């Protein structure tokens, strides 16, 4: 694991790391899921493989998740206690309300974590893989939405650490640029 940057915002620690999200010992990792919650390629497939068959069965019982929303399952064989599955938008050139849907995915994942008393949450770079969302714009939305969410919910949120777990240094650098733009 390589830490790229750390900051404190409204009583919460924020970090950008390059690591395999399936190895993190946190309360919850956030999966960039598909609407069927069926596993697939990229980080979604890696999380499903690492968590084991029980995760697939738990996701089937949930029955799906619309774009921009989030669902919670146990982490099963993962070191993380829970998996928050959120569905980001497929990039269609910016004409399909993708920015708002991505903001919603991040905010709903944070709401779900706070509602369930989770303190440490690690995000994958939602929608930047096969969904094609431009990585620099996605990082700006991820950091901005998280910062706005923290500022709006300081007294009741309960979340003490948010990690942006990037799969590459390029992704981490986009997040670091977004931190700088927010003065973090």
Q: 153 or 33, which is more confident?
A: 33
Residue 155 — pLDDT band, cuts 50, 70, 90?
A: low
CB 122 within 8 A of CB 84: no
Express each pLDDT in 53-112 by its tens digit: 999 999 999 999 999 999 999 999 999 999 999 999 999 999 999 999 999 999 999 999
169 sits in which H/E element: helix 169-181
What is the tally of structural domains in the chain?
A: 1
Structural domain of residue 152, as residue ranges?
2-181
Catalytic sites, residue numbers: 44
Catalogue the long-range contacts made by 32-35 (C-beta closer than 8 Å, 24 or more residues apart): 32/86, 32/88, 32/124, 32/125, 32/126, 32/127, 32/128, 32/129, 32/131, 33/65, 33/71, 33/85, 33/86, 33/87, 34/87, 35/64, 35/65, 35/66, 35/67, 35/87
pTM given for the model: 0.96
Q: What's the pLDDT at 154?
A: 67
pLDDT of res. 5: 96
Please report, for the domain that includes residue 133, its CATH number: 3.40.220.10
User: What pLDDT does 137 receive?
Assistant: 98
């Amino acid at each position: 694991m390589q830490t790229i940057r750390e900051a404190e915002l409204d009583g919460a620690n924020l970090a950008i790391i390059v690591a395999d999200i399936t190895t993190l010992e946190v309360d919850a990792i956030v999966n960039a899921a598909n609407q069927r919650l069926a596993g697939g390629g990229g980080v979604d497939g890696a999380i499903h493989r690492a968590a084991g068959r029980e995760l697939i069965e738990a996701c089937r019982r949930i029955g799906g998740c619309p774009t921009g929303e989030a669902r919670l399952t146990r982490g099963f064989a993962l070191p993380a206690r829970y998996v928050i599955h959120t569905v980001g938008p497929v990039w269609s050139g910016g004409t399909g309300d993708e920015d708002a849907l991505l903001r919603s995915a991040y905010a709903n994942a944070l709401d779900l974590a706070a509602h369930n008393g989770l303190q440490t949450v690690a995000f994958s770079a939602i929608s930047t893989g096969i969904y094609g969302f431009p990585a620099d714009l996605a990082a700006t939305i991820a950091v901005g939405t998280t910062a706005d969410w923290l500022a709006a919910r300081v007294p009741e949120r309960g979340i003490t650490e948010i990690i942006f777990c990037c799969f590459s240094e390029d992704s981490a650098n986009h997040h670091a640029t977004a931190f700088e733009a927010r003065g973090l």
